[in-house]
Amino acid sequence: MKVIVCSSYEMVSVKAAQIVRSHVREKPDSVFGLATGGTPLRMYDLLAEDHRLNGTSYQKAVSFNLDEYVGLNRSHPNSYHYYMQSHFFSKVDLLPANRFVPDGLASDLQEECEQYEKQIKDEGGIDLQILGLGENGHIGFNEPGTSFKKGTHVTTLTNDTRKANARFFKNQREVPHYAITMGLNTIIQAKKIVLLAAGRKKAKAVKRMITGPVTESFPASILQTHSDVTILIDKEASFEN
């Protein structure tokens, strides 16, 4: 694991955007794994700005989002479809046919998960996976206790996660109980992984991810087993602080 402690959240975002930008410039047909949540917001802003000012193009690229809530309509402001549309897809030239986000309204969710996993394989796998980190160690929506062997699947969100994400909803009752998420086995097969974490609230999880035992009770610890992982954190999320 390569751990980079940045001076601020802004610098975490700048560094992450630089990695994405160089990737798509070197390999225009890159397959990206994308994350939502509060942390990557500024990275998406910077990528949109870079596209606008410097013309970095995503026309040949493909993207797969990590997860989506079950039961939220695409136009629901808290769906990850809506998030991606407002913060990234509407601002760059990634083709609609090449943007994949799990369908949390699929009539057969199991089938949707299998199909999603197959689509990732058909595109040749993920070249660069962007990740955030849950305070309880989740990545995507892989909650503590999830088998490392799982591919894309339907998961039940823990109370901790529903509480942490309630800030985006009117109240916690509105946060869905289920989600579709790429599995840990899907994530770990990405060729390169970049995880972003910022703020004091994440410091404990960052420490455990980097220095703790590799265990299914702390999903992000699986990243220790991958040969090309970069962890971008700000000072507050750093346990040395």
Q: Is 67 in the site for ligand GLP (CB under 6 A)?
A: yes
- Given 51, 81, 138, 153, the catalytic residue: 138
**Catalytic residue status for 67:** yes
Query: Between residues 4 and 60, which has the closer beta carbon with respect to ligand GLP?
Result: 4
Query: Smallest distance, Å, CB 107 to ligand GLP?
Result: 23
Residue 38 contacts ligand GLP per CB under 6 A = yes
The span of 53-61, 70-78, 97-105, 132-140 binding ligand GLP (CB under 6 A) equals 132-140
Q: Judged by CB under 6 A, which stretch of 15-23, 101-109, 117-125, 131-139 contacts ligand GLP?
A: 131-139
Q: Is 161 in the site for ligand GLP (CB under 6 A)?
A: yes
176 binds ligand GLP (CB under 6 A): no
Does 79 sit near ligand GLP (CB under 6 A)?
no
Mark whether 138 is an active-site residue: yes
Asked if 194 contacts 19 with a C-beta cutoff of 8 angstroms, the reply is yes
Q: Which stretch binds ligand GLP (CB under 6 A): 33-41, 45-53, 81-89, 115-123?
A: 33-41
Interface contacts to ligand GLP, rule CB under 6 A:
35-39, 66-67, 132-134, 140-141, 161, 165
